[in-house]
Amino acid sequence: MTTSKPYFPILEAEMAKHGISEEAISKHIGITERAFHNKISGKTDFWWNEVLAIHAVFPDVEPEKLFSHSADTVSVLVQGDETRNTSI
C-alpha cells in the first residue's frame, strides 16, 4: 500500500499540530466531511470564502502558505478568484 503526499501539507500539519479534525473544519466552513476531504486531497477546489474561513482558524499562517503545495512556490487555486502564484 502506498501513501500519497499531502496536497496541502502545511494545512494538514497545522490541523495535526492543533488537534483539529477534518470533521471539525468541515463543520466550521459548512460543508460535509466528504466534501472537505475531496478538497484537501486536491480532487476539488476550495471556494475563496472557504479559504478565508479556514484561515480564521489558523490566523498566524498566511492563506498563501496555508494552502501551498510546496515550500518553494505557492499556487492557490480557488473558485471565484484567479490563480495566484507567489514565491515564498
The tens digit of pLDDT for each residue in 7-36 reads: 999 999 999 999 999 999 999 999 999 999
Q: In this structure, is residue 29 part of a structural domain?
A: yes
Q: In this structure, is residue 4 part of a structural domain?
A: no
Per-residue pLDDT band for 70 (boundaries 50, 70, 90) equals confident
Q: In this structure, is residue 1 part of a structural domain?
A: no
Q: In this structure, is residue 2 part of a structural domain?
A: no
Q: In this structure, is residue 13 part of a structural domain?
A: yes
Under 8 Å between Cβ of 39 and 12: no
Q: In this structure, is residue 28 part of a structural domain?
A: yes
What is the value of pTM for the model shown? 0.73
Q: In this structure, is residue 65 part of a structural domain?
A: yes
Residues found in the chain: 88
74-80 long-range contacts, CB within 8 A, separation 24+: 76/51, 77/45, 77/46, 78/45, 78/46, 78/47, 78/48, 78/50, 78/51, 79/45, 79/46, 79/47, 79/48, 80/47, 80/48, 80/49
The number of folded domains in the chain is 1
Return the CATH number at 26.
Answer: 1.10.260.40
Q: In this structure, is residue 3 part of a structural domain?
A: no
Q: Residue 42's domain spans which residues?
A: 9-87
Please say if the pLDDT value at position 71 is more than 90: no
Per-residue pLDDT band for 5 (boundaries 50, 70, 90) equals confident
Q: Which residue is associated with the grid cell 494552502? A: 67
Other CB atoms within a 10 A radius of the CB of residue 37 amount to 15
